Structure 1
Amino acid sequence: MNRITPLILAVALFMEQMDSTVISTALPAIATDLGVGPITLKLALTSYMVALAIFIPVSGWMADRYGAKKIFRAAILVFIAGSILCATSQSLIAFVGARFLQGMGGAMMTPVGRLVLLRTTKRSELVSAMALLTIPALVGPLTGPPIGGFITTYFSWQWIFLINVPIGFAGVWLSTVYLPEVPPTSTSAIDLKGFVYMALATSGVVFGLSVVSLPALPLQVGFGAVAIGIISGILYVQHAKRHPAPLLNLGLFRNRAFRASITGGTIFRISTGAVPFLMPLMLQLGFGMTPFQSGLITFIGAIGAITTKFMARRVFAAAGFRSVLIVAALGGATMTAANSFFSPGTPHYVIMGFLLVAGFCRSFFFTGVNSLGYADIEDEQASQATSMSSVMQQVSLALGVAVAAAILEANIALHGRELSLVDFHLAFAVVAALSLLAVIPFIGLARDAGSAVSGHRRPADVGEDIPVK
């Protein structure tokens, strides 16, 4: 396996992860500077994820039509432009718009990067490649909170976006010199009608849920957006059944491993999307920490995540996707629930210990679902599989932010007071209970599901290789 390819592709994931964790830590400071509340500013998080959900579906088609390497480099440049505009924003509208532009760039970077990896890596080496791909990306969460908190506390939040500029240009140069060429393939005309349906479906649901949780906007706007999203989703399903080359091929869900990976991963990511939003706010608003202090606490989770990458292939080969994913999902849900018991009097090393184990569990889970989803996918379906997977990932992360904020806002409205620690505790308990449902799709899988990728073999199969004397 060419190890430099996933490392270069990880530059895109690094920028996304760095940007996501930095803005979560700096939300209160940015909100104060822009003259809005920290909950209202979650529109900036949501707009980024909505942009990803809208434009990811066309990323596979564009990579096939124009070449993955060319699209990958162009996406990084768009992301850099969005970062600069974020740093120069003077209002909520400008900031949200700049985040949307960042999302357009991110929509192309990650799925196209995975497509390059799939088409240049043997299936038997996919787990190691996926693990290697995410190691540098996890440096983002590792360095994002403390660096973002330090910059926000002692300098200004604008600089947290300017960090992306040198990283992005380095990614463009490295991909130009070292990234293998993935030549364009013959593609049909883009499914414009399907694109409109998908854009309305994803943006309507995600934005609508966000609006419902915002007291500054009428509830009718939020419910209307959700209704439009659901109706558009139904229309897309009907359209995809008739179209000879739909933008996203729903026939991929007939593959059991892919279906379990998408379903279980989507449910679990709702919790994953909620935690980075809730934790910095709880530590700063509930515990009275500075952004830098909260960043030093939360960055420990990335260390737990990184350690799994050096053992992922051996663990999945020994236990198989099914067992590891079930245990990782249960462990992740338990660690999320533990957050609802933290208080200002809880020793910091105890909090960091739970966050360390949480990062460990989530890393195993996402390495597993990212690899399992492509285990039985044909090469000609790879671009649509990566697009489908990335769409569901971003929608679920956005839903996590929307659900978490909705719980906080509901408590404020119900009790007629400002945010308190008990509100965060309830939110963590709810998302933990929700993440438990991620176990269900994997229970019905065979113990050796995806064995061509994981290398796991049942005892009976191993025994067949032993010669009979």
Structure 2
Amino acid sequence: MQTLDGTILNTALPAMAASLGESPLRMQAAVISYLLTVALLTPLSGWLADRFGPHRVFIVAIFLFCLGSLACALAPSLSWLAAGRVVQGGGGALMMPVGRLIILRGYPRRELVRVLSFVTIPGLVGPLIGPTLGGWLVEYASWHWIFLINLPVGAVGAWAAHRWLPRLIPVARAPFDVWGFVLMGASMVTISLALEGLGELAFAHAKVMLLLVAGLACLAGYWLHAARHPSPLFSLRLFRTPTFAVGILGNLFARLGSGAMPFLVPLFLQVGLGYSAAVAGMTMIPMAAAAIAAKAVGTSLIARFGYRRVLLVNTALLGLSMMAFALIDPARPVALLYALLVVFGAINSLQFTAMNTLTLIDLAPEQAGSGNGLLSVVQQLAMSLGVAVAAALLGGFTSQHGGMPEAGTTLAAFHATFLCVGTLTLLSGLVFLQLGPDEGRPGELPRSDESIGEG
């Protein structure tokens, strides 16, 4: 439901603008309000789950997402729609990290790779069908149904969560770190807004720099605060776990390329190769299907070769597959494009599985909520940064050629951008060099860890 909503909305924005009597250029408020709410509230997810229990918080997250969806469907104006998206964002900020935390606490660590790979498969279906379903609903029903479709899905999800999710025992935590939340939340919102300003919002460079510096200042303030606070929102002691430290930094830098590609590839297909929106959407299906299929082999590869080998080789292949898009032009056989999309989809999927499980696999039970919340924060930030980097590179290479709209110039700008994004991904492999050969290998848990899921 959540990943579907992230891709279905963009298709409907022009129809929504016409219905609400707004300029299509102002409709970006419906997207930005959701993203900023997620950025603000994601740091809260770990503390809430530890304080009230992940089962309860997960069901509340579904309820908030559905309530926001209903408000959006009933919206008579853009302001109402943006408010509904804020409520949706409150649910979205909790749903993904708390759902992953339930898996982390409910299963032994030796099962973590297999189980996380399995439960992320439905989430990959959302981007697969989102653009097509959005276009179909707008054309044959109305834009309101892109939100109303969440209500029956959410109702079934809440019932299933109540019926089958384990009632995990809340972990005792110190009082809420209000000042830490203010600093971290302000950092996430200002940095996210700055990155959006580089892209779709098209802020002046002075405003982007002001927001970026303010965000980094808040982040530095949080770091100093966490070093002194007895129970910070995200403890710096998390970084004493080597696999967590490598996993967090790897997620930040390797996801720059992975975050850029969902922005670059559809644009490349339409602007660079001249595909229609419908054909471009259908062309993306092999990539999503390969991502789903690759989840089946992640467990065996990591168990056989270990995280260090898998991540070093896979990160190199991921960077090379991004750079290979520079070989695609209208003169190449279309089969080459499909083969490249399949290879990239499979490698990218395996990268996410390995990085996410590496980050969490060695955390102590009392650190799981905080570490999982920080992982969600880093993922959110890295995806926004990836889009901003791709947009800046593409714009820069286009202006290098005088900003001319000729097909050859546009294609050259895309090719150069793919090469740069691939190079950045290759360099992120240096982070995974810090892993020991046997670090993070799934094994038997201590007895205290295996009892987390009881109750």
Please tell me whether the aligned partners of residues 24 and 280 of structure 1 are also in contact (alpha carbons under 8 angstroms): no
| 2:355 aligned residue | 369
CA distance in 1, matches of 2:388, 2:17: 17
Where does residue 34 of structure 2 map in the other structure?
Answer: 48
CA distance in 1, matches of 2:138, 2:444: 42
Whether contact under 8 Å (2:2, 2:92) holds in the other structure is yes
Deviations 1:12-48 (A, max 9, x none): xxx22222233456677778885345xx876655553
Deviations along 1:337-360, one digit per CA (max 9) or x if unpaired, are: 223333345444322221111111
Instruction: Show the counterpart of 2:426.
Output: 436
**Secondary structure at the counterpart of residue 442 of structure 2:** helix
**Distance (whole Å) between structure 2 residues aligned to residue 422 and residue 24 of structure 1:** 27
How many aligned residue pairs are there?
439
Aligned-partner Cα distance in 2 for 1:146–1:170:
23
Kept after mapping to 2: 8 A contact 1:26/1:291 = no
| Cα separation, 2, equivalents of 1:332 and 1:142 | 20
- 1:319 is matched with which residue? 305
TM-score (norm 2): 0.87
1:449 corresponds to: 439
1:359 corresponding residue in structure 2: 345
| Match for residue 180 of structure 2 among 178, 194, 200 | 194
- Letter of the structure 2 residue corresponding to residue 376 of structure 1: D
- The within-5 A match list for 1:59-458 is 59-87=45-73, 98-151=84-137, 157-213=143-199, 217-410=203-396, 415-417=402-404, 420-453=410-443
One-letter amino acid of the counterpart of residue 258, structure 2? T
Is the contact between residue 321 and residue 450 of structure 1 (CA under 8 Å) also seen in structure 2?
yes
Cα RMSD (Å) of the superposition?
2.9
**What is the SS of the residue equivalent to 1:452?**
coil
Residue aligned with 1:430, SS: helix
Q: Check conservation: 2:397, 2:417, Cα contact below 8 A.
A: no
Q: Does the alignment pair 1:18 with 2:4? A: yes
In 2, distance between residues paired with 1:61 and 1:68? 10
1:35 pairs with 2:49: no
Q: Given that residues 145 and 299 in structure 1 are in contact (C-alpha distance below 8 angstroms), is that contact kept between their aligned partners in structure 2?
A: no
Q: Conserved in 1, the CA contact under 8 Å of 2:39 and 2:188?
A: yes
In 1, distance between residues paired with 2:54 and 2:308?
Answer: 32
**C-alpha distance after superposition, 1:191-220 (max 9, x if no partner):** 110011001111111211222446754332
AA partner of residue 435 (structure 2): L
Give the Cα–Cα distance (whole angstroms) in 2 for the partners of residues 216 and 133 of structure 1: 37
Q: Kindly tell me: are residues 238 and 325 of structure 1, through their superposed partners in 2, closer, same or farther at Cα, counting changes over 3 Å? A: same
Superposed CA deviations along residues 294-339 of structure 1, whole A, max 9, x for unmatched, are 2211121121111122222211111111111122212222222223
Q: Which amino acid aligns with 2:385?
A: L
- In structure 2, runs of 5+ residues without a counterpart are 446-455
Tell me the CA shift for residue 81 of structure 1: 2.9
**Whole-angstrom distance in 2 between the partners of 1:319 and 1:170:** 39
Return the alpha-carbon distance in structure 2 between the equivalents of residues 308 and 42 of structure 1: 34
In the TM superposition, what is the alpha-carbon distance from 1:230 to its structure 2 partner? 0.6
Change (3 A) 1:426 1:226: same
Give the 3-state SS of the residue equivalent to 2:362 in structure 1. coil
Q: Give how far 1:361 is off.
A: 0.5
What's the offset of the Cα at 1:229? 0.2
> Taking structure 1 as reference, are residues 153 and 318 closer, same or farther at Cα in structure 2, changes over 3 Å only?
farther
The aligned amino acid for 1:291 is A
Contact 1:145 1:296 in 2 (8 A): no
Secondary structure at 1:311 match in 2: helix
Contact 1:336 1:358 in 2 (8 A): yes
Is there any run of 5+ residues in structure 1 with no aligned partner, and where? Answer: 1-14, 456-469
For residues 338 and 231 of structure 1, what CA distance do their matches in structure 2 show? Answer: 38
1:450 Cα deviation (Å)? 0.8
Offset, 1:410 = 4.0
The one-letter code of the counterpart of 1:253 is F
Identity percentage of aligned residues:
37
The whole-number CA distance in structure 2 between the counterparts of 1:263 and 1:95 is 36
Normalising by structure 1, report the TM-score. 0.85
